[in-house]
Structure 1
Amino acid sequence: MIKNIIFDFGDIFINLNKTATALELSKFGFTKISPELDVLMKNYEKGLISSDDFINKTNKIFPTATPQELKNAWNKIILDFPEERLLFIETLAKEKNYRLFLLSNTNELHIEQVIKNMGTERYDRFKACFEQFYLSHLINFRKPNANIYEFVLKENNLNAKETFFIDDTEENTIAAEKLGIKSWNLQVGNEDIINLKSKL
């Protein structure tokens, strides 16, 4: 029996344009993610470096861009948060049938953009729906590493077999399933979180 639900954030609740940042950075010579850039992005997502350090180090890779242009390019991925999804999670929280958690690979600049796009009032309403609101840059772990799931289970005394996890990235749901967590790899564009109950 499912008692706990762990939700991803991007492309589960808030819409993303996952190609927008690469397209914007291509103006400054970006062609693909180099090993150096990959490590930099993952370290930033885990909160191991500050936003200023991240932008400064990215600026060394793309010297023709200004720091502000890099910030703008980085945040292009963040789109809108449909109202029906906010109302859905608020209703689910009010029903109190499940313990609700958010677990997102999110960095500081992106969450600032999310709040700006949503508005503080809507963001606070969303955050209030969850017992715990885990953002990777604040807990120093990131999906799909097993330690992030183990952290959430242990921190909240959750039984993996009683826990359901939703993420749009298959790599992340596979990692959760290896720990005994039932998962839904939501297919963006074909499925929507508001239909969650048909999956439980």
Structure 2
Amino acid sequence: MIKNIIFDFGDVFINLDKTATVAKLTEKFGAFELTPEMLKVNDDYEMGLMSSEAFVDFYKSVFKNAATDELLEAWNAILLDVPQPRFDFIKSLAEKNEYRLFLLSNTNDIHIQYFINTISQEKFDLFKGCFEKFYLSYEIKLRKPNASIFEYVLKDSQLTPEETLFIDDTAEHIATAKSLGIHTWNLIPGKDDITNLFNQPHPFKQH
């Protein structure tokens, strides 16, 4: 029986344009390729292993003529909107209090601050308050798809895998959760929507 639901954030609640950052940088500074060093810096930043200042400074060394504001605009371009029905859905689910609700996201300080500034601190607090706990990669120094982040969440909140459903748009993250015995829903952006959670053939239907 499902007692706990762990939600991803990007493309589950907030719409993303995953190509927007590279497109913006290319538009401003010309075509470039994401190097292994850039990917490592991005991962390290998501895991809170470097400060926002150090992260921006790194990209200033890559794009020599870039201003901080230009880099931040490009970095935040991936973040779009959270449709109101998704806010309403999680608020209603929290009010019913039938499941323990958690959020587990690979994210970083710049993106979270941008999101708060975009929707307002009050609305962010209401959203965050729908969950028993917010697990953000840059705060807990772990990231998906590594098994360690799932093991951390299970242990920290004393969750049983067989009683837990994990929802994410990334197949690699879903595969790790499955390997640990967690029920999963690989939500496909543009095809599925979190507001249709209880219309899915999930373990909810089995009890």
Where does the alignment leave 5 or more consecutive residues of structure 2 unmatched? 203-207
What's 1:167 paired with?
Answer: 168
Report deviation, 1:133.
Answer: 0.5
CA distance in 2, matches of 1:7, 1:30: 35
Report deviation, 1:64.
Answer: 2.2
Alignment of 1:1-200 (within 5 A): 1-26=1-26, 27-199=28-200, 200=202
Q: Which structure 1 residue ranges, 4+ long, deviate > 6 Å from structure 2?
A: none
Report deviation, 1:33.
Answer: 1.6
Q: Does the 8 A contact of 1:102 with 1:134 survive in 2?
A: yes
What's 2:205 paired with?
Answer: none
Which string of whole-angstrom CA distances, capped at 9 and with x for unpartnered residues, describes residues 123-155 of structure 1?
111100000011110000000000000000000
Distance 1:30 1:105, change over 3 A: farther
Q: Does the 8 A contact of 1:44 with 1:50 survive in 2?
A: yes
Q: Does the 8 A contact of 1:100 with 1:130 survive in 2?
A: yes
Where does the alignment leave 5 or more consecutive residues of structure 1 unmatched? none
Q: Does the 8 A contact of 1:75 with 1:113 survive in 2?
A: yes
SS in 1 for 2:159: coil
- Number of matched residues? 200
Q: Does the 8 A contact of 1:165 with 1:181 survive in 2?
A: yes
Q: Does the 8 A contact of 1:55 with 1:67 survive in 2?
A: yes
Report deviation, 1:31.
Answer: 2.6
Which string of whole-angstrom CA distances, capped at 9 and with x for unpartnered residues, describes residues 76-114 of structure 1?
111111111001001101111110000000100000111
User: AA paired with 1:93?
Assistant: A
- TM-score, length basis structure 1: 0.97
Distance 1:102 1:23, change over 3 A: same
Question: Identical aligned pairs, as a percentage?
Answer: 52
Report deviation, 1:56.
Answer: 0.1
CA RMSD of aligned residues (A): 0.9
User: AA paired with 1:7?
Assistant: F
Q: Which 10-residue stretch deviates more, 58-67 or 88-97? A: 58-67
Q: Which 10-residue stretch deviates more, 62-71 or 14-23? A: 62-71
CA distance in 2, matches of 1:197, 1:179: 23
